[in-house]
Amino acid sequence: GENVEQHPSTLSVQEGDSAVIKCTYSDSASNYFPWYKQELGKRPQLIIDIRSNVGEKKDQRIAVTLNKTAKHFSLHITETQPEDSAVYFCAATQDQFYFGTGTSLTVIP
């Protein structure tokens, strides 16, 4: 199946700074790349996604970029807030969802 790698595994930023999380994938057939936010003990929640025919997508403070040639995509969070603290997962999918290893983001007030 697909192999998704995610970096960094932990990330601490000061409130108001930006955070960037990067993922790479192996299967060129993957065509949908969602990002999920998971708070402790809760279900993952979709925060943004991008399809393979788009290079960039933005939703308020969150943006995702996709480079299909290099098979990598990134999550950008600007003006971070303490409530952004959580674990973030990327995924690559054609049919099955394969998740990255997760990034624990801490926003320091």
Restricted to residues 73-92, the positions that interact with other proteins (CB under 8 A) are 87, 89
- In the list 65, 74, 102, 107, the residue contacting other proteins (rule: CB under 8 A) is 102
With binding defined as CB under 8 A, does residue 43 bind other proteins? Answer: yes
106 binds other proteins (CB under 8 A): no
Identity of the residue numbered 53: N
| Nearest to 75, CA basis, from 95, 53, 46, 41 | 46
Based on the shown chain and the rule CB under 8 A, indicate whether residue 24 belongs to the binding site for other proteins. Answer: no
Name the E strands within 8-93. Answer: 10-14, 19-25, 32-38, 45-51, 56-59, 62-67, 72-77, 86-93
Residue from 13, 27, 68, 97 in contact with other proteins (CB under 8 A): 97
**Residues lying near other proteins in the complex (CB under 8 A):** 1, 6, 32, 34, 36, 41-46, 49, 51, 87, 89, 93, 95-102, 104
